[in-house]
């Protein structure tokens, strides 16, 4: 008789239960909170609609017999697996209202891939400001997760009226081609479906991936033939030069170079050419079937299971009022398989929780901030002040550092659940070495080879935002999510106003001057901070990679986890893991 089981079954099959069902009264009193969450969700939904409708109407593309990028993604990605990222990203506030690329993580033919395509409704997929940074975040994600990058190229090249916004600098629109070379060098394949006219930058967008599949109407080239010579000895355009330009343009009959008849029939750069747009996507699906991916059984430690406690509770549990505490373990219980969690050193460093859970049957580490008040803690305060949830103290920083180090040893990907107001400050905190311990956590993260994702549940503040694997953790952070209740700032607006204007207030007061002008400035600063820390602003400026409704967070955690375990570069045999044994004692 043959028998099978999951590894370390006594540790992983059944972990301790966490969380509890909400009572009727808890649900009743939290209805106003649900409404506040919905208000923010509605703002985000309107913004998403605006971005989706950017450029020419979808109907116009359809009337030409074409597909929009959204149609292509719908056709390509396995149903129910798409997790969009950078949807509202537009850091330079382009007039287009977006960066002209649409991207995210999803499954194709059952395998995870990072997927990005040009929005062919927006200037035919031109290079516009902010786009290169968006692409860099996406190539970094494929590199971090070691999964294929899938491109849907449809790129008309530089928006010539604003070339200086895309062409200059170390991280500009030419940089993705080096990133593609880097991914190829690392053995991470890039599949490229090519549509439309792709001259110059679009040409390199076409040629730089690993596998090129073209639509019959597509072309890629060093430059376009449609550029009629515009230079003349005068150095400017006068009536005579304009007429020559008009005649030249009217009489231009050439076809764009680099067509399928060249790059399929002659150079054979294109592996496939398809007479339908769907055919190109079918070709990508066929290549995705060839991509390396372990069967999940290889790394699962238990059968996948949904949380016992419903995700819909999250809108009741996470207070929109940023000054309200809550039970962070109740949040975690709505995210993990079977609502189970194996906590590491729960009695040490009470302001943070660390431990192992299962996501879709895979082992995953979680680290997050506890909330509330901790009388008698931290020890070094000697009772001068109590510990407050969301802050970091000596023990919590040490605990996170050692936990991350052990996760590195056990190859456990980490999900960070941030809701932090900062690291403790003052002489006592400095004597307790918090400055060095914060940087020590940064070092601990950096010295691992782990993938991590960060969720800023509510507040991401001060140094605590980056020591807890915020987007600044370039080599480890795959992506960072915000929620409808996220606020991110270097310090709270009221604190910033006090820090900036307190001395001036003293001066004006001593001189007997009217304080109103200074107060006006302080209040304006507070208002600016409020506006510039809201979820939609965080998504637009890149504080986070996407704002995600609370019940949808698990979908992203599953994508992160599944991608991480699809083709890992390093493996710790489950039966050789240390952390579960350390936790058990």
Partner 1 sequence: MPELLAPIAGNVWKILVAVGDKVELDDELVILEALKMETPIYCDDAGTVTEIKVKEGDAVNEDDVLIVID
d(C-alpha 581, C-alpha 571), whole Å: 18
Toward partner 1, which CB reaches closer, 217 or 325? 325
Question: Tokens at residue 477, please?
Answer: 């952070």
Residue 391 is given by DSSP the state E
* Full 3-state SS string of 74-93: HHHCCCCCCEEECCCCCCCC
- Whether 158 is catalytic is yes
Provide DSSP, 477-533: EEEEEE-TT-EEESS-HHHHHHHHHHHHHHHHHHTT--SHHHHHHHHHHHHHHHHTT
Query: For residues 293-314, b (16+ Cβ closer than 10 Å) or e, as one string?
Result: beebeebbbbeeeebbbebebb
CB 569 within 8 A of CB 146: yes
Sole residue written with tokens 């960070």: 416
Q: How far is the CB of 387 from partner 1 (least distance, A)?
A: 9
**Bridge partner residues of 445 (DSSP):** none
Total Cβ atoms within 10 A of residue 118: 28
**Piece in contact with partner 1 (CB under 8 A), picked from 21-29, 189-197, 328-336, 466-474:** 21-29
Q: How far is the CB of 494 from partner 1 (least distance, A)?
A: 9
Toward partner 1, which CB reaches closer, 65 or 375? 375
d(C-alpha 18, C-alpha 358), whole Å: 13
383 forms part of the interface with partner 1 (CB under 8 A): no
Phi and psi angles of residue 96, each rounded to the nearest 5 degrees, phi first: -70, -20
Number of residues binding to partner 1, judged by CB under 8 A: 15
Phi and psi angles of residue 354, each rounded to the nearest 5 degrees, phi first: -135, 150
Binding mask of the shown chain, residues 280 to 319, with x at each position contacting partner 1 by CB under 8 A: ----------------------------------------
Toward partner 1, which CB reaches closer, 248 or 376? 376
Question: Tokens at residue 525, please?
Answer: 């600063």
Which residues neighbour 83 within 8 Å (Cβ) at sequence distance 6 or greater? 104, 105, 106, 546, 555, 556, 559
**Piece in contact with partner 1 (CB under 8 A), picked from 52-60, 88-96, 126-134, 384-392:** 384-392
- Catalytic hit among 105, 150, 158, 221: 158
**Bridge partner residues of 369 (DSSP):** 352
20 forms part of the interface with partner 1 (CB under 8 A): no
Toward partner 1, which CB reaches closer, 33 or 156? 33
- Catalytic hit among 69, 128, 260, 423: 423
Our CA angle for 373, 39, 538, nearest 5°, is: 70
Q: How far is the CB of 458 from partner 1 (least distance, A)?
A: 13
d(C-alpha 404, C-alpha 410), whole Å: 10
Residue 385 is given by DSSP the state S
> 3-state DSSP call for residue 319?
coil
Task: List the one residue from 388, 428, 491, 505 that touches partner 1 (CB under 8 A).
Answer: 388
- Whether 357 is catalytic is no
- Catalytic hit among 201, 387, 408, 493: 201
Task: List the one residue from 16, 386, 426, 517 that touches partner 1 (CB under 8 A).
Answer: 386
Q: How far is the CB of 29 from partner 1 (least distance, A)?
A: 5
Binding mask of the shown chain, residues 99 to 118, with x at each position contacting partner 1 by CB under 8 A: --------------------
Q: How far is the CB of 373 from partner 1 (least distance, A)?
A: 5
Toward partner 1, which CB reaches closer, 287 or 489? 489
585 forms part of the interface with partner 1 (CB under 8 A): no
Q: Which of 306, 330, 325 is nearest to 22 (CA)?
A: 330
169 forms part of the interface with partner 1 (CB under 8 A): no
d(C-alpha 136, C-alpha 130), whole Å: 10
Question: Tokens at residue 452, please?
Answer: 């991590």
Question: Tokens at residue 456, please?
Answer: 């800023």
Task: List the one residue from 9, 20, 28, 50 that touches partner 1 (CB under 8 A).
Answer: 28
- Whether 201 is catalytic is yes
Sole residue written with tokens 């007997």: 512
Task: List the one residue from 25, 233, 235, 254 that touches partner 1 (CB under 8 A).
Answer: 25
Q: How far is the CB of 467 from partner 1 (least distance, A)?
A: 21
Task: List the one residue from 9, 14, 20, 29 that touches partner 1 (CB under 8 A).
Answer: 29
Task: List the one residue from 50, 324, 507, 527 that touches partner 1 (CB under 8 A).
Answer: 324
321 forms part of the interface with partner 1 (CB under 8 A): yes
Total Cβ atoms within 10 A of residue 331: 22
Binding mask of the shown chain, residues 436 to 465, with x at each position contacting partner 1 by CB under 8 A: ------------------------------
**Piece in contact with partner 1 (CB under 8 A), picked from 22-30, 274-282, 435-443, 467-475:** 22-30
CB 372 within 8 A of CB 348: no
Task: List the one residue from 4, 23, 503, 575 that touches partner 1 (CB under 8 A).
Answer: 23
Q: How far is the CB of 325 from partner 1 (least distance, A)?
A: 6
- Whether 187 is catalytic is no
Q: How far is the CB of 486 from partner 1 (least distance, A)?
A: 18
**Bridge partner residues of 104 (DSSP):** 84, 115
d(C-alpha 460, C-alpha 545), whole Å: 14
Q: How far is the CB of 495 from partner 1 (least distance, A)?
A: 10
Question: Tokens at residue 409, please?
Answer: 């040893």
- Catalytic hit among 116, 260, 463, 539: 463
Task: List the one residue from 10, 80, 375, 383 that touches partner 1 (CB under 8 A).
Answer: 375
Task: List the one residue from 1, 24, 49, 510 that touches partner 1 (CB under 8 A).
Answer: 24
List residues near partner 1 by CB under 8 A.
23-26, 28-29, 321, 323-325, 373, 375, 385-386, 388
> Could you give the residue numbers annotated as active site?
158, 201, 423, 463
């Amino acid at each position: 008789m043959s028998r099978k089981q999951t590894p370390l079954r006594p540790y992983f099959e059944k972990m301790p239960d966490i969380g509890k069902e909400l009572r009727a009264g808890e649900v009743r009193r939290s209805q106003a909170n649900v409404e506040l969450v919905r208000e923010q969700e509605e703002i985000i939904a309107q913004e998403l609609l605006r971005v989706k409708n950017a450029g020419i109407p979808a109907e116009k593309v359809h009337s030409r017999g074409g597909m929009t990028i959204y149609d292509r993604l719908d056709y390509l990605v396995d149903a129910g697996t798409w997790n969009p990222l950078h949807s509202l990203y537009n850091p330079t506030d382009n007039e287009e209202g977006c960066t002209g690329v649409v991207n995210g993580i999803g499954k194709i033919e059952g395998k995870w891939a990072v997927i990005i395509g040009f929005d062919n409704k927006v200037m035919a997929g031109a290079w516009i400001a902010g786009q290169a940074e968006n692409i860099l975040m996406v190539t970094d994600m494929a590199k971090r997760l070691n999964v294929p990058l899938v491109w849907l190229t449809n790129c008309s090249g530089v928006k010539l009226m604003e070339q200086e916004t895309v062409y200059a600098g170390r991280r500009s629109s030419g940089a993705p081609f080096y990133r593609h070379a880097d991914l190829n060098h690392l053995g991470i394949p890039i599949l490229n479906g090519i549509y439309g006219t792709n001259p110059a930058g679009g040409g390199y967008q076409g040629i730089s991936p690993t596998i090129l599949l073209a639509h019959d109407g597509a072309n890629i080239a060093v430059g376009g033939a449609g550029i009629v010579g515009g230079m003349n000895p005068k150095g400017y355009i006068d009536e005579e030069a304009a007429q020559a330009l008009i005649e030249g343009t009217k009489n231009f009959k050439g076809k764009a170079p680099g067509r399928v008849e060249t790059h399929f029939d002659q150079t054979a750069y294109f592996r496939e050419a398809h007479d339908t747009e769907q055919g190109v996507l079918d070709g990508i699906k066929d290549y995705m079937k060839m991509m390396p991916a372990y069967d999940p059984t290889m790394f699962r430690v238990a059968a996948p299971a949904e949380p016992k406690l419903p995700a819909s509770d999250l809108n009741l549990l996470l207070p929109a009022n940023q000054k309200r505490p809550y039970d962070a373990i109740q949040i975690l219980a709505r995210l993990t398989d079977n609502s189970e969690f194996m906590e590491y050193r729960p009695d040490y460093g009470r302001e943070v929780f660390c431990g192992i859970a299962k996501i879709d049957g895979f082992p995953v580490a979680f680290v997050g901030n506890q909330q509330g008040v901790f009388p008698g803690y931290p020890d070094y305060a000697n009772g001068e002040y109590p510990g407050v949830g969301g802050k970091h103290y000596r023990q919590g920083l040490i605990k996170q550092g050692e936990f991350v180090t052990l996760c590195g040893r056990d190859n456990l990907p980490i999900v960070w659940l941030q809701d932090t107001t900062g690291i403790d400050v003052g002489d006592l905190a400095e004597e307790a070495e918090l400055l060095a311990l914060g940087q020590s956590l940064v070092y601990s993260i950096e010295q691992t080879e782990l993938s991590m994702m960060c969720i800023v549940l509510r507040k991401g503040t001060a140094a605590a935002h980056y020591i807890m694997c915020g987007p600044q953790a370039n080599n480890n952070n795959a992506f960072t999510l915000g929620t409808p209740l996220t606020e991110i700032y270097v310090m709270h607006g009221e604190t910033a106003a006090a820090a900036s204007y307190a001395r001036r207030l003293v001066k004006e007061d001593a001189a007997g001057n009217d304080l109103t002008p200074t107060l006006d400035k302080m209040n304006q600063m507070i208002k600016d901070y409020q506006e510039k820390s809201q979820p939609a602003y965080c998504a637009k400026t890149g504080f986070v990679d996407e704002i995600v409704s609370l019940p949808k967070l698990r979908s992203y955690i599953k994508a992160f986890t599944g991608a991480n375990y699809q083709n890992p570069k390093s493996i710790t045999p489950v039966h050789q893991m240390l952390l579960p044994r350390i936790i058990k004692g």
